[in-house]
Copies of this chain bind each other. A is one copy, B any other.
Amino acid sequence: MIGRLNHVAIAVPDLEAASAKYRDTLGANVGAPQDEPDHGVTVVFIELPNTKIELLYPLGEDSPINGFLEKNPAGGIHHMCFEVEDILEARDKLKADGARVLGSGEPKIGAHGKPVLFLHPKDFNGCLIELEQV
């Protein structure tokens, strides 16, 4: 079912410093910050040859990553995103297998403009998993 690893998302407490680290110290191809008000984050995309890293920084008081940064003040890996061909089929299979889909269970439009769902970390070895239909 799952296809490519679309991205690994890292929550960071200082977006400029984290961008500089990946650009200048690790020599990666780092984009400009993009506000995603619908998702409560500012995102910086780092293009690797085979996948992406996404740096996430809170945007607004209700940002979904505020809690994560409170628990992990230095930052940390927040989630990983796998691509699927049909997100509703994937959801139904997951639910039939007893995996919990976060929120209403209906896909939302994610930061890339495509339907996404998140799976409960307790069902996947403590890892928050995003599924994105491509």
> A residues near B, CB below 8 A?
1-5, 8, 10-13, 18, 21, 24-28, 48-51, 53, 55, 72, 74-77, 80, 82, 93-94, 97, 99, 121-127
User: How many copies altogether?
Assistant: 2
Can you spell out 18 A-B residue pairs with CB atoms less than 8 angstroms apart?
A2-B26, A2-B28, A2-B48, A3-B48, A4-B50, A4-B51, A10-B125, A11-B125, A18-B125, A48-B82, A72-B126, A74-B122, A74-B126, A75-B125, A75-B127, A76-B125, A77-B77, A77-B80
**Pick from B11, B51, B97: contact of A5, CB under 8 Å:** B51
Q: How far is the CA of A88 from the CA of B97 in the complex (A)?
A: 46
**Pick from B1, B4, B53, B99: contact of A49, CB under 8 Å:** B4
